């Protein structure tokens, strides 16, 4: 009994952006958003958010904790374009300006259950030393106009000469449930 | 037609003596496979390890294949290059790995190698850079003519790949 219409399935993501480790920076907040293909659409929940500003704990862990909830449900007919969560972390520099401290992206897990993901974050860097100095001095570092570029596979060689690895780790913890439609 | 979704990330690379690495990746399949959505090849950004020796790319891969046969199961191949401050690129390693054939999420570590030349070329590479490269990229993922090469080990490329299979049981394939 073949059905002509494509089957719709739902993907529910519940979790949190738990914490980060950025050895060099403090007083950080993070923004999350989702990047997904054309066959996907969010049906419930928020697909973007901005967290609170957090400071490092005084103990030996030096943890930056956000405990920031993520709650979204997608519907789709095709696994192509599986959603990715894009995280951007911002913090103040020496002069008090808000600068980007890291971008990172990861696919939402593919199987139901509890998952923990640790994401490396990276930051664009200018190639010329003079530009690096002026951007440090002016507080205007290279930044992506649209953070969603981090989740795309094409055109990343154009990000070449522009990436520098700051090792901060954030841990989103989604649990997800697959519901198959008719 | 049976369908395969390959979704994941090239997480990064470790164990290379050079820093400032980028990776050109591609996927090779047999004649029975057809790419329905996604890009078959790409290039990551350049990354310089700050802590430890792992360069992180987090390069997303999202491919949707339809196939009529199991022959030519997809193989991912990589060329890892390093870039110096003058913008010159030098080969750091070639590697390939098969896409897993069981559904689910897999962590893959792909070893790499680079061709060694004569002792003169090795000396030149140490001082001036450059070094021999393969003329034909398909030697990276095929076994033919490999016996002609003398190579040295490079580092490891790390991937996290998830596989979703569809309609394979209709064709009598158990997975």
A171 Cα to chain B: minimum distance (Å): 15
B128 Cα to chain A: minimum distance (Å): 21
Look at residue A157 in the predicted model and tell me its pLDDT. 58
Structural domain containing residue A77: 9-124+161-181
The mean per-residue pLDDT over the stretch B74-92 comes to: 91
Q: How many folded domains does chain A comprise?
A: 1
From A22-26, B112-116, B164-168, the region with the lowest mean pLDDT: A22-26
Q: Which residues pair with B158 in a beta bridge?
A: B12, B109
CB B17 within 8 A of CB B45: no
Contact B42 A80 (CB under 8 A): no
**Mean pLDDT of chain B, nearest integer:** 90
Query: Which among B47, B105, B162 is the nearest to A122, CB-wise?
Result: B47
Angle, CA of B107, A37 and B100, to the nearest 5°: 25
d(CA B94, CA B154): 8
The answer to whether residue A108 sits within a structural domain is yes
Going from N- to C-terminal start, the domains of chain B cover: 1-169
The mean per-residue pLDDT over the stretch B10-31 comes to: 92
Question: What topology does CATH give the domain B1-169?
Answer: Immunoglobulin-like (2.60.40)
- Cα radius of gyration (chain B): 18
Look at residue B66 in the predicted model and tell me its pLDDT. 95
CB A76 within 8 A of CB A34: no
Whether B48 and chain A come into contact, CB under 8 Å, resolves to: yes
B65 compared with B144, residue with greater pLDDT = B65
The mean per-residue pLDDT over the stretch B74-78 comes to: 93
Q: Which two tokens stand for residue B87?
A: 């913008």
Main-chain dihedrals φ then ψ at residue B146, nearest 5 degrees: -70, -25
pLDDT tens string for chain A (182 positions)? 444 456 888 888 888 888 888 878 888 898 999 999 999 999 988 889 998 888 887 777 777 888 888 888 999 999 999 999 999 999 988 888 888 888 888 898 888 877 888 888 887 776 667 777 777 777 667 777 777 777 776 666 554 333 333 333 333 433 332 222 22
d(CA A109, CA A79): 12
- For tokens 């020496």, name the residue: A94
How many contacts does A have with B, using Cβ atoms within 8 A?
A: 101
pTM of the model: 0.79
Predicted confidence band of residue B136 (pLDDT cuts 50, 70, 90): confident
Contact B7 A150 (CB under 8 A): no
Look at residue A156 in the predicted model and tell me its pLDDT. 67
The answer to whether residue A167 sits within a structural domain is yes
Look at residue A169 in the predicted model and tell me its pLDDT. 37
Residue A111 sits in a domain of what CATH number? 2.60.40.150
Whether A120 and chain B come into contact, CB under 8 Å, resolves to: yes
Say what the ipTM of the complex is.
Answer: 0.74
């Amino acid at each position: 009994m073949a059905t002509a219409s494509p089957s719709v399935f739902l993907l529910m993501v519940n979790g949190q952006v738990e914490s980060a480790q950025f050895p060099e920076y403090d007083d950080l907040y993070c923004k999350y958003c989702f990047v997904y293909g054309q066959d996907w659409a969010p049906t419930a929940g928020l697909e973007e958010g901005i967290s609170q500003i957090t400071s490092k704990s005084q103990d030996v862990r030096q943890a930056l904790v956000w405990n920031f909830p993520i709650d979204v449900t997608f519907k789709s007919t095709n696994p192509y374009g599986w959603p990715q969560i894009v995280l951007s972390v911002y913090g103040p520099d020496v002069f008090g300006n808000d600068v980007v401290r890291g971008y990172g992206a990861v696919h939402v897990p593919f199987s139901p259950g509890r998952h923990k993901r640790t994401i490396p974050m990276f930051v664009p860097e200018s190639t010329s030393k003079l530009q690096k100095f002026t951007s440090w001095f002016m507080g205007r570092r290279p930044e992506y106009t649209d953070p969603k570029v981090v989740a795309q596979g094409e055109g990343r060689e154009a990000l070449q000469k522009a990436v520098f690895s700051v090792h901060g780790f954030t841990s989103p913890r989604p649990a997800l449930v697959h519901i198959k439609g008719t | 037609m049976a369908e395969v979704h390959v979704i994941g990330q090239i997480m990064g690379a470790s164990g290379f003596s050079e820093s400032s690495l980028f990776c050109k990746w591609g996927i090779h399949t047999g004649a029975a496979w057809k790419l329905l959505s996604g890009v078959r090849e790409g290039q990551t950004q350049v990354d310089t390890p700050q802590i430890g020796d792992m360069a992180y790319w987090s390069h997303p891969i999202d491919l949707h294949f339809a196939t009529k046969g199991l022959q030519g199961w997809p193989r991912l191949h990589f060329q890892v290059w390093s870039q110096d401050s003058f913008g010159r690129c030098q080969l750091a390693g070639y590697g390939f790995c098969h896409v897993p054939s069981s559904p689910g999420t897999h962590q893959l570590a792909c070893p790499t190698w680079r061709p060694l030349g004569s002792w003169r070329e090795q000396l030149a590479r140490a001082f001036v850079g450059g070094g021999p490269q393969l003329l034909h990229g398909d030697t990276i993922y095929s076994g033919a003519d490999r016996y002609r090469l003398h190579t040295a080990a490079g580092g490891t490329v790390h991937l996290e790949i998830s596989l979703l299979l569809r309609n394979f049981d209709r064709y009598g394939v158990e997975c």
